[in-house]
Amino acid sequence: MEIKDEVEFCFPQLLNVSCRKPRLHLTKAFFLDTVLSIISIITVVLNLLVIIAVSHFRQLHSPTNIILLSLAVSDFLVGLLLLPLEIYRNTSCWFLGEIMCAVYYHLACCIPFVSIGNIVLISVDRYVAICHPLHYPTRITTVRVKTCVCLCWLWYGLYSILYIKDQIIHLIEPGDNVGCLGQCFIIFNYTIGVVDLILTFVLPVTAIVVLYMKVFVVAVIQARSMRSHVTFVSVQHPVKAKAKKSELKAARTLGILVVTYLSCFCPAFCSVLLEIDLFSAYMLFALFYFNSCVNPVIYTLFYPWFRKAIKIIITLQILKPDSRETNML
């Protein structure tokens, strides 16, 4: 990492309490801003299309799609709020004040955590659909899914407040340790950080991996059963053996979504425990946010209803009075 020869301060008139301006080299800063800006724009546009599609078309109001809608909302907020603020925080002095800094870190914790919670809910949904198809209509209802999604947002919203409690205490009782002016950083406790890593990453990822391993095994068995037509499972459990191809395809698609999520999130979370240079840390968090851009691309490639919805939205057919009742499946 290259550092400018001349030290520049955020508040030149207050050198005793002023922070230094971000020291990332101009070329690297421009590259980082460009990459994050492109990710931000694509994330907002694609996830907005998902939100409009699932919200508007009545046929798409299934339990699984409600969770996808929640995931799209969290991804949309990443592109609309977190990425622009991250660009500003990393390449410029922070002139928005300590309160806005605390709000930023609350959102920076809450929104990605909600995405993790949504991925867990998706894994549970697919596990019940594939491994217990007879019980799926009674266990996974629209009302229960909406309740779980709301609880997910509420839980992580409250949890994120606890995560920045030191910032809140500092705002109420500044004390002698006021730091410097012009930076937005989180007061980080290593012990709490490790516990947080376990609660918000290790445990959810473990649950996701275990559920999808079970889903994968059962999906393979069911696929072979449908091809052979005559198996022990087809005799004993004909309904289970004839699981819909759409369910298996949905499990495969959402499995790709989960693998992509792990590929984007793991490096960023692991970087918390490693000592790496500033530019590498920024790039890992760019990869972290890139997951919010990739999710709707996965929908486009694997969900015909989403491609059809995009066509209807772009051609403004969505403005027709009866467009809500369009056959999307």
User: pLDDT digits over 210-244, tens only?
Assistant: 888 888 777 777 666 666 654 444 445 444 444 45
Mean pLDDT confidence for 47-60: 92
Q: With a cut of 90, say whether residue 5 has pLDDT above it.
A: no
Integer Cα distance of 119 and 292 in angstroms? 12
Q: Are the beta carbons of 261 and 120 closer than 8 angstroms?
A: no
Longest dimension (CA), the chain: 83
Q: What is the residue-wise DSSP string for 287-314?
A: HHHHHHHHHHHHHHHH-HHHHHHHHHHH
Structural domains in the chain, CATH included, are 12-322 (1.20.1070.10)
181: helix, coil or strand? strand
Q: Are the beta carbons of 77 and 293 closer than 8 angstroms?
A: no
Q: Are the beta carbons of 66 and 142 closer than 8 angstroms?
A: yes
* Higher local confidence (pLDDT), 271 or 210: 210
Q: Taking the chain, what is the end-to-end CA distance rounded to the nearest angstrom? A: 52
pTM of the model: 0.84
Q: Which of these, 240, 250, 237, lies nearest to 218 by C-alpha position? A: 240
Beta bridge partners of 111: none
